[in-house]
Amino acid sequence: MIVDHFDTVYREGSENGRVMCIALHPYMMAAPHRLKHLDAALAYIRKHRDAWVCTAEDILDWYTQNGMKAYQEHLGKEA
């Protein structure tokens, strides 16, 4: 399911940026019969060099440095 989701988001992202969240719960994903599939999905995603694999904190840092000032100016607020 993760690979199918990624393929769709990756294809759509060629025209407009997309975000894909992989929500994981340790109880569900730490089982050995599931973990190997997660590893395979992440390896598949990482083969796409132009896909930005990051955390929510990474997205916040990027936005704070690159997007927030323009948004605040749009609202008429000081940065």
Distance in angstroms (rounded) separating the CA atoms of residues 29 and 35: 6
- What tokens were used for 51? 């896909």
pLDDT tens, the chain, 79 aa long: 999 999 999 999 988 889 999 988 888 888 889 989 999 999 999 999 999 999 999 999 998 888 788 888 888 876 5
Task: Write down how long the chain is.
Answer: 79
**Longest CA pairwise span in the chain (Å):** 53
